[in-house]
Every structure is written in C-alpha cells, then in structure tokens.
Structure 1
Amino acid sequence: MTVESTTATHGVTLSDEAATKAKALLDQEGRDDLALRIAVQPGGCAGLRYQLFFDDRALDGDLAAEFGGVKLVVDRMSSPYLDGASIDYADTIEKQGFTIENPNAGGSCACGDSFN
C-alpha cells in the first residue's frame, strides 16, 4: 500500500524579486528552519492588517508553497482573504520594501497599512 503525502497550497504568489530578498535575509541570519508567513489580523483604520514575518512555527491547517527556495505559509483563517494576492519586493528611489497586491481588498486606508 502506497501512502501519498500531499501539501495543501494557497493562492498567494511570491515574485522572483521578493523570493530573492527573503532568501538573502534568511541566509544573512543563517537560518534554514524559517518560513515566510503572511497573515491577516484585525486592526488598522480600515479593519484588517497584513502581517509578513519569518516564522519557525507550524500551525494546524497551514497552507504552504515554495518560491525560489523560500517556503511561504498562510494560516487557514487568513487564506480566504489572501487568495490571488501577490507579494513583490521593490528597491527603487520611490519605493523600498515588500508590497502586497490583493484583489480581495475592497479598499484601504490612506496610509496603506490596512484594508477591508
């Protein structure tokens, strides 16, 4: 009897630039046990706020996908809010850092820190 192992994936994508930057940050820390986690939490002036951080925990119901050697995880409660979202990284004179484009966001606050 063969048992197949399947990993549930999420609908979030990580651009090549974002994966390269995340991998460089992980390499700089000397850690290969961390995943990049994106989550949605209550907060901000529009009602919901993104959380993007490196995490060494595995939560029950996590959905995962790998991009350029970086494991991107989403918890099952955040997944419906993030399906179809993309994470990018920019390093220009106008903008620097990770950005999240989310087709599920109906609107955002003026500061861009939260959405609804």
Structure 2
Amino acid sequence: MTVQSETTEGIILTDEAAGKVKGLLEQEGRDDLRLRVAVQPGGCSGLRYQLYFDERELDGDVVADFGGIEVVTDRMSSPYLIGATIDFVDSIEKQGFTIDNPNATGSCACGDSFN
C-alpha cells in the first residue's frame, strides 16, 4: 500500500484507490463528480460507511485533493474519518474499496460497519 498524501483533516487516499477512482470517473465521462465519503447510522455495529460519486456541494463540506481526485466529506462525518485510510484491494479473496479507520473501536464481520 502506497500512501499518496494526507490532508489536514487526516483522510488518506492511497495511490491504488486514487487510480481506481480516476478510472471509474473516466468511465462515467463526467468531470463534475467527486468521491464522497460519509458515515451514516446503520449496520450491525452502529455506523456504516458510504462511498459514492457526488456532484453536490454541501454547506460545511471538507474537500481534499489527491492528484486531481477530490474526496469530499460532510461536516458531520469528518470527525469520524480523521486518520482513515481509503485503499483499493484487488485480490482473489476480495475486490473493492477498504477503509482502515483508527477511530473505530469495533467492527462487524462484514467490515461495512463500525462503532
């Protein structure tokens, strides 16, 4: 895992994740989309992550730029994501984005929710 950079808010996007996001954005053919990372109530551990492309600008958004890839978090989610590393894994066992979050005190077996 190669860490590309860290924002003042502490979100880290690896080179692998940035490359995958760039490829997906190119497939969409739109230059107004950004990767939004949010924390929502739900899941078996209380909170769950949401990653999706978004063109909206919400009041209080925290925007981080990783070599032209913008990662956006809303002001309510941002404190939960300080120091979180977003990576992309492509192996025989698993393919997809992963979030390693030092703020999570526990998580469930599915890996999609935390507390």
In the superposition, the TM-score normalised over structure 1's length comes to 0.90
Q: Provide the residue aligned with 2:56 in structure 1.
A: 57
Query: Match of 2:70, SS?
Result: strand
Q: Unpaired runs of 5+ in structure 2?
A: 1-6
Q: Distance in 2 between matches of 1:25 and 1:35?
A: 11
Which structure has the highest strand share of the two?
2
The Cα offsets for residues 6-62 of structure 1, whole Å up to 9 and x where unpaired, read as xx9532111000000000000011011001000000001100000000001000000
Q: Distance in 1 between matches of 2:46 and 2:23?
A: 32
Query: Match of 1:27, SS?
Result: helix
In the superposition, the TM-score normalised over structure 2's length comes to 0.90
Q: Distance in 2 between matches of 1:68 and 1:91?
A: 21
Q: Provide the residue aligned with 1:46 in structure 2.
A: 45
Q: Distance in 1 between matches of 2:88 and 2:52?
A: 14
Q: Percent identity?
A: 73
How many equivalent pairs are there?
109
Q: Which runs of 4+ in 1 moved over 2 A?
A: none
2:30 is the counterpart of 1:28 = no
Q: Provide the residue aligned with 2:4 in structure 1.
A: none
Q: Distance in 2 between matches of 1:112 and 1:90?
A: 14
The Cα offsets for residues 38-97 of structure 1, whole Å up to 9 and x where unpaired, read as 000000110000000000100000001111321001111001100000100011112211
Distance 1:74 1:32, change over 3 A: same
Q: Unpaired runs of 5+ in structure 1?
A: 1-7
Q: CA-atom RMSD, angstroms?
A: 1.2
Write out aligned runs for 1:58-77 (5 A): 58-77=57-76
2:88 is the counterpart of 1:89 = yes
- Give the structure with higher Rg (CA): 1
